[in-house]
Structure 1
Amino acid sequence: MSLGWISPFLDAQAAELNAAENTLLAYGRDLRHAAAWLSAQGTDFELASRPDLEAYLIALEADGMARATRARRLSALKQLYRFAYEEGWRADNPALQITGPGREKRLPKTLSIEEVDRLLSSSEAHGRNTGDRLRNHCLMQLLYATGMRVSELVSLPVAAARGDPQVLLIRGKGGKERMVPLSPPARTALAAWLDYRDAEEDRLKTEKGQPHSRFLFASRGKAGHLTRV
């Protein structure tokens, strides 16, 4: 079974690479499992070929083993055979060209309807003052209704939001334009924010001579509008 290979390999991992104890324990379990499987097929680490190792990995998958566990077991075999080749125990490395199962692709997590409702409701109460709360609620409603990028939303020109629109014209990457619909709650939040915003802009122009901003979500920063940070 070539079990005699495992202890020297683990000792080398501990001494040369300062491998953690848990890593060494996992390598040991994985390699003993592989050795037992190879023995049942009439071979061992010393004689196993690349097809033998690939058959082992196929058997693991057929047994329903998780992708991450299969990847770890292949990693243990690769490390063992690299060590065996360097030590002269084998003249070749049968694990060298074997590719792993890769990471499992997972679907993105989404919010439930109840979670979205709570998020939108909380935006109405989040802010230091009335203006902040109206702006934050408008931002969230527009983001939810249109699905536009945050960078597109914060840089939206105020002209695009005039006249109680049912759709917004968005200029995206590469200067490409597209139309996105507005839901009734988004239109209501937009109208409330515009009323407050316009009144505040008029006040600042009268009191401080500050010109009106061309952005829906104006800022005193260099960009002239809110940033995505």
Structure 2
Amino acid sequence: MMAAEAGAAVNTLLAYRRDLEGASEELGGRLAEADGAALTRLGAVWLPLARSTVARKASALRRFFGFLAEERLRDDDPSDALPRPGGAQTLPRILDHGEVDALFAVLEQRLADNPTPADLRLSALVELLYGSGLRATELVSLPRHLLRRDQPYAILRGKGGRERLVPISDRARAAVAAYAATLPADAAWLFPSGKAHLSRVRLFQLVRALAGAAGIAPERVSPHVLRHAFATHLLEGGADLRALQSMLGHADIATTQIYTHVDSRRLVELVNQRHPLVDAGRPRS
């Protein structure tokens, strides 16, 4: 159901499988027959875990019991007994402009001195992460000929099978073109590795190594942190929240609104400069 009807991504399906199998193991292999009391005990087992982990596990089980009820495989839905951890939403980790500049300074230095194919690949990867806000999975699985030098956008299929239009900057297109010239003509992927494409784990390692070379603590940087920086810096520059939602591929704008944690001074300046009722010459009553 999750694959065919909800269009869930492979990583989502794997996460659901792990959570359901773990819960079933805790309940002696009788998850489908569990009642409210059993789920309450399961919630107690989860108490030492982080709230975000508990929320994810509970969400997987709610979808599972909802499916069983909808398919009439059981007459009740005991998932109300599952915990609903509250708390404030965690703000995304981001890099400031100076730190992003430091990353690109390292790349520019490498590209200026007889760059290797690996240098060109890393440049293309980082330009697309920070310049277009791609998810790691979307990036590593790009088909070889999806991005073209004369086309300032790409149409991607992201989470849930949803298509979206992603802007590709002039810098990113130039970086991709320079790197793509090193690929075999019959390459199926833009970032091939062995018989498949570059893995998300390897992308993670490459980005952290670049951070270390730029003098930034590697644990602060990941592909997703660069996606967060893309979103936050666009919003700081005055980007429309709906446009940002579309570029990031968020199904719900509430997910995009987390990026409104920008500097309050910047928000005040934006209102004072852009609000249609602002008129410096109008007398105040």
TM-score when normalising by structure 1: 0.45
Greater relative CO (CA pairs within 8 A, separation 6+)? 2
TM-score when normalising by structure 2: 0.36
| Bigger Rg over Cα | 1
